Amino acid sequence: MRISSRVSSIEPSPIRKLMDRVGSMKDVLGLHVGEPDFDTPIIVKEAAKKALDEGATHYTFAAGIPELRKAIAEKLLRENSVKADPEDEITVTVGGYGALFSAIQALVDIGDEVLIPEPAWPAYRGFVRLAGGIPVPVPLRPPEYELDIGDIEDRITEKTKMIIINTPNNPVGSVYPIDTLTSIAKLASEKQIYLLSDEVYERIVFDGVSHFSPASIGDAREYTISIYSFSKTYAMTGWRIGYVVASRSVTKAIRVVHSYMASCVSPAVQIAALTALREAEDYVKFMVNKYRERRDIAYDLLLDIPNVDCVKPKGTFYLFPDFSRIESSSMKLSEKLLEEAKVATVPGIAFGEAGEGHLRISVATSSETIVEAIDRIRRIILN
């Protein structure tokens, strides 16, 4: 039997393959995990339990329960300066994954080109290929991994349908400044190209840096699709709930895709998310402060390793140190560290050619694990 050419042309997620492999090993220190190590806030879990006990176990609105969409609209206006109609412009999805998949499937046709600044989360390429589109990499400019508007303009063709941006950025930890995002949003609007803005790390920013949402620019609103998730902000990765914000016409198309994919998000999970929005702010601040402390520890330790270069990230819980002066192949280095030091990292090549020579290191783990793991890395390199 034949598998569809659409699927057979796509490699499985390299990060997921790594997680499966590490899960089968013993005594590995994990610096590879892309999810909070904190538990979901107790108040959120209790809300879900109560909802289940009260019968929230059936199908519900495909677009999301009205109470949650209304609360999301209030949050968007308060925190993102984005005005969105909860009835026609906000859709609750099965995680940020569901939001991204639905938006790309709704908008990208066979042969359409999608610009993706790299290094980038590998799922973007997979989503685009599943829709029949063509991913077009746009290298970010090291060492700060800046997104240059000229690099975007140079790659726009008559086939360009969408630009995907991710800020705060996984894997490099950069936070794009307002002027850069404004320029890209206006360019997309002028060219009538969709701008897909992945903002799932919006709350994890440090050192007085602020996150900016392109959809807050009035002129760019029609062509901007914004992706959000409860996973990273509220330590709810396993709950699988996110949301997408877009114009009415785009939202209508997104809802068609998502309804066929998932019907609806669990009502109990939606009630838990509603509680998170309303009552978990202190917990979010606590987690972000811990990430900042761990980032500082990891950054100082990495800089102490000879021939390793590292930029201090302004957001996310990742660092993206450059090991190219030690080993040009990030895959070989990652394998060596896993086998000989029992330390799991993600090779930079997983995020595109622009990531080669780097490793992604997550600080979503204890400070003790970070110190011991980087010490093991140092010893392997020195030997």
d(CA 16, CA 226): 25
SS3 labels along 106-140: HHCCCCCEEEEEECCCCHHHHHHHHCCCEEEEEEC
Condensed to tens digits (0 to 9), the pLDDT of residues 20-42 reads: 888 788 899 999 989 999 999 99
Buried b (16+ CB within 10 A) or exposed e, 336-360: bbbeebbbbbbbbbbbbebbbbbbb
Residues 197 and 264 in one domain: yes
**d(Cα 264, Cα 255) in Å, to the nearest integer?**
10
Q: Find the mean pLDDT for residues 3-11.
A: 84
Same domain assignment for residues 327 and 223: no
Q: Are 175 and 169 in contact (CB under 8 A)?
A: yes
3-state SS assignment for residue 284: helix
Mean pLDDT throughout 296-310?
98
CATH number at residue 25: 3.90.1150.10
Identify whether residues 334 and 243 lie together within a single domain: no
User: Do residues 46 and 35 both lie within one domain?
Assistant: no
C-alpha angle with apex 40: 38 to 43, nearest 5 degrees?
135
Q: Are residues 10 and 92 in the same domain?
A: no
Residue 106 sits in the same domain as residue 49? yes
Residue 17 has a pLDDT of 76
| Structural domain of 52 | 42-279
Same domain flag for 202 and 329: no
Q: Which of 216-220, 279-283, 310-314 has the lowest mean pLDDT?
A: 216-220
- pLDDT average, residue stretch 119-132: 96
Give the relative orientation of helices 267-279 and 66-75 as an angle to the nearest 10 degrees.
30
Domain boundary, last residue among 253, 279, 305 = 279
Between 41 and 8, the more confident residue is 41
Residues 124 and 241 in one domain: yes
Residues 235, 99 share a domain = yes
As a whole number of angstroms, the distance between CA 25 and CA 338 comes to 10
Nearest 5°: phi and psi at 228?
Answer: -135, 165
In the predicted model, is pLDDT for residue 159 greater than 90? yes
Integer Cα distance of 272 and 44 in angstroms: 5
pLDDT given at position 204: 99
pTM of the model: 0.96
Residues 127, 106 contacting (CB under 8 angstroms):
no
The answer, yes or no, to whether residue 200 has pLDDT greater than 80, is yes
β pairing state of 346-347 and 343-344: unpaired
Looking at residue 53, the DSSP 8-state letter turns out to be H
| Tokens of residue 350, six digits | 């997983």
**Higher per-residue pLDDT: 4 or 67:** 67
Strands 242-245, 90-93: pairing kind: antiparallel
For residue 375, pLDDT beyond 90 = yes
Which pLDDT does position 212 carry in this prediction?
Answer: 98
Structure confidence by residue, pLDDT tens digits, 9-22: 887 777 777 778 88
Q: Give me the mean pLDDT over the 310-318 stretch.
A: 98
Structural domains counted in the chain: 2
The residue from 249, 279, 309 where one domain ends is: 279
Question: Beta partners for 316?
Answer: none
250 confidence band (pLDDT: 50, 70, 90): very high
DSSP 29: E
pLDDT tens-place string over residues 91-113: 999 999 999 999 999 999 999 99
Average model confidence (pLDDT) for the chain?
A: 96
Same-domain check for residues 229 and 98: yes
Among 263, 279, 295, residue at a domain's last position:
279
Q: What phi and psi, each to the nearest 5 degrees, are found at residue 34?
A: -100, 45
What pLDDT is attached to residue 9?
Answer: 80
CATH of the domain at 55: 3.40.640.10
pLDDT-derived band at 272 (thresholds 50, 70, 90) equals very high
Mean pLDDT confidence for 129-135: 97
DSSP state at residue 293: H
Q: CB within 8 A of 130, min separation 6: which ones?
A: 6, 7, 10, 101, 104, 105
Distance of CA 331 to the CA centre of its chain: 22
Same domain, 296 and 168: no
Closest by Cα among 285, 280, 362, 352 to 316: 362
- Report the Cα–Cα distance between both ends of the chain, in Å, rounded: 50
Q: What is the pLDDT of residue 247?
A: 98
pLDDT over 90 (residue 219): no
Residues 52 and 127 in one domain: yes
Q: At what angle do helices 95-107 and 123-130 cross, to 10 degrees?
A: 40
